[in-house]
Structure 1
Amino acid sequence: MVLSRDVIVLEDESWNWNEMKSSLKKAKVKGIIDYPTSVEEIEYVAHINSSQHTVMQRPQRHKQAPRAWIKKIDSYSIKEKFNKCAAEHGVYVKGDFVKELIIICLYVDDLLVTRSNPRFIDEFKKIMEAKFEMTDLGNLSYFLGIEFIHTTNGLMLHQKKYAGELLKRFNMLECNAAKSPMEANLKLVKDEAEEDADEIEYMQIIGSLRFLCNNRPDLAFSVGVINMFMNQPKKTHMMVAKRVLRYIKGTMDCGVLFPSRRKKIAEEITGYSNSDYGGDPVERKSTFGYIFMLNDALISWCSKKQPVVALSSCEAEYIAGRFATCQGVWIKELMEELKMPLEKPIQLKIDNVSIINLAKNPVSHGRVNIFRLSFTS
């Protein structure tokens, strides 16, 4: 089970940045499909002509539409001198901070555009409207089920509307709010003698909560725990899932805030990783988590069960630090491609003394060979 989210948002009043949203109409793919790409995407039609049988190929164009659209927008962005990010293929960058910078985030047929100069936005929209059929949706306010609110303190991401619909769907609108998503040190197991819960309803709750985790890192761990009992859940598991809904009832206004900055400061990223030890009583595996902060803004978080059984708390923290390090390297590469190189190395903070000593003392590196063997095998 993996619950993670990576967000890069720059809200800086000294640059007067703003985000615009545009949507391309479905007619965008008309006439741009030039050839079939696989046997599965070809409809074979047989025609009988006297004694000769001829097989004609007719591509089913609607199945090729996404691939054709990506190919089209890639060629167009290269023509307009945009650079496609290797770390995140849906992001295109043009220019730099020294001159003028424009960043495009593409998700299927929706475009998010931000820039360092309003004039560049207007010019870009005119070019795109001349090339494709588009609908200008104005300033960013709603995207992929996430609401965006511009406040005096910065840009706020939340899903209050979706949370209300979620509670209404499962008859929890009038429930009493809980102060935490899960009881501390709760260990869930599957008791075969216990009464079964409604499996369909349980799966619907988990699926809905997973989507809510897009901007609620406080739910990631608890949703990951109850997600492990999707097959034949028991009444106890349903009670824990309902507690998460009760917690949402009292925190519907919560979300992720990207603070605005009055003046330009150096970009600095700090990561934090942690892990329990043998938190899963069924498989004896540990669960780790990490978060990354860009100055005061939360940009990346994850909660995941480890792929191997850790033999000590030191090993569990080592695995957590390794995953966090990989994420930090990816963030560094993305920041460089966004023309925002970091002036300082990324700091990764771990609260385990043994791991810190292993990292600082080269003599101790030989002691972690068993970690490497068990973790990479």
Structure 2
Amino acid sequence: MGKEELVVGVYADDLIVTDACAEDIDSFKREMVAHFRMSNLGALSYYLVIEVRQEKEELTLDQSAYTSKLLERSGMAECKPCVTPMEERLKLTKASTAAKVDATLYQSIIDVDQRIVFPKTGGSRLQLTVFSNADMAGDIDRRRSTSGVLVFLGLALISWLSLKQKVVALSTCETVDCVDGGQIVIEFVETGRLLMDILTKPLGHLRLTELKEMIGMEGYKG
């Protein structure tokens, strides 16, 4: 369909079709309608809890409505904001005497929270960059570390992960194989740019704000 590449995103029975050439998109739609019962909903405005605003020079993704629903579900809609999500240098332990929380409710909120992304608007080189690091045995009960991963497409943070490692022993064999094979390129990151600290450590206000700015969260408004 022309020189440009047509991309189709599929989720259940919903399709997103994108291409630099409008004629290619129209041709694809006609071909699909000839084989399947389909509805054309026009320009994309909402998809998978993400609101989409398309303008001439930029595309904006917004999740403010979804985030508000999440706060209501967790009973935090009327809570005052806090400058830090955790007490700085806090170390959690199973021996804590603090009141227990509903583990099922907490896990459901965390699982849903991972669908929230923090996009930047405007054009940029669409280079895929991944930052990855781990703390050092942050789990004082079982000596396990917490891994943090941030994935950027250009300047936009498109995926993230914060997860306690399942085992203490670590293996780097697979990573080394990928580097030797040229599949990935590893670059040194100085201490001040360790973005993953925001996912693996309880930080103070200044450092938290600095990292939020670096990953595009600070000052973002939907």
1:124 deviates by 1.0
Shift of 1:187: 1.8
The alignment of Structure 1 onto Structure 2 pairs a total of residues equal to 187
Distance 1:348 1:106, change over 3 A: farther
State whether residues 259 and 297 of structure 1, in contact with CA within 8 Å, keep that contact through their aligned partners in structure 2: no
**1:130-169 to 2 correspondence within 5 Å?**
130-150=34-54, 154-169=58-73
Give the number of the structure with larger relative contact order, counting CA–CA contacts within 8 Å between residues 6 or more apart.
1
Q: Secondary structure at the match of 1:161?
A: helix
Q: Which amino acid aligns with 1:294?
A: L
**Deviation, structure 1 residue 185:** 2.3
Instruction: Identify, as 1 or 2, the structure richer in strand.
Output: 1
**Equivalent position amino acid for 1:211 in 2:** V
Q: Which residue of 2 aligns with 1:209?
A: 110
> CA, structure 1 residues 115+292, in 2 after alignment: closer, same or farther (shift >3 Å)?
same
- RMSD (CA atoms): 3.2
Write the deviation string for residues 130-157 of structure 1: whole angstroms up to 9, x where unpaired. Answer: 2111111222221122222335773333
TM-score by structure 2 length?
0.69
Structure 1 unaligned segments of length 5 or more: list them: 1-93, 217-254, 333-344, 353-377
Which one of the candidate residues 115, 132, 138 is aligned to 1:279?
Answer: 138
Deviation at 1:284, TM superposition (A): 0.9
Q: What secondary structure sits across from 1:135 in the alignment?
A: coil
| Shift of residue 164, structure 1, vs aligned partner | 1.2
AA aligned opposite 2:167: V
Which ranges of structure 2 fall in alignment gaps of 5 or more residues?
Answer: 192-222
After TM superposition, give the deviation of residue 351 of structure 1 in Å.
4.7
Distance (whole Å) between structure 2 residues aligned to residue 207 and residue 214 of structure 1 = 12
Letter in 2 for 1:260: G
Instruction: Select the structure of larger CA radius of gyration.
Output: 1
CA distance in 2, matches of 1:269, 1:347: 13
Relative to structure 1, the CA distance from residue 351 to residue 182 in structure 2 (aligned partners, 3 Å threshold; closer, same or farther) is same
Matching residue of 1:259: 122
Secondary structure of residue in 2 paired with 1:148: strand
Secondary structure of 2:120's counterpart equals strand
Label 1:126 to 1:156 Cα distance change in 2 as closer, same or farther (>3 A).
Answer: same
Q: C-alpha separation between the residues in 2 aligned to 1:350 and 1:307?
A: 25
8 Å CA contact 1:148, 1:157 repeated in 2? yes
State the match for 1:298 in structure 2: 157
Equivalent residue, structure 1, for 2:87: 183
CA contact (8 A) 1:275 1:287 kept: yes
Judged with a 3 Å threshold, the aligned counterparts in structure 2 of structure 1 residues 351 and 306 are, in CA distance, closer, same or farther, namely: farther
Change beyond 3 A, Cα 1:178–1:136: same
User: Contact (CA 8 Å) 1:274, 1:350: kept in 2 or not?
Assistant: no
Deviations for 1:212-246, whole angstroms, at most 9, x for unmatched residues?
Answer: 22234xxxxxxxxxxxxxxxxxxxxxxxxxxxxxx
Runs of 4+ in 1 over 6 A off after TM superposition: none
* Corresponding residue SS for 1:140: coil
Distance 2:132 2:53 in 1: 29
Q: How far 1:169 moved relative to its partner?
A: 2.9
> In the alignment, is the contact (CA less than 8 A) between 2:49 and 2:63 conserved in 1?
yes
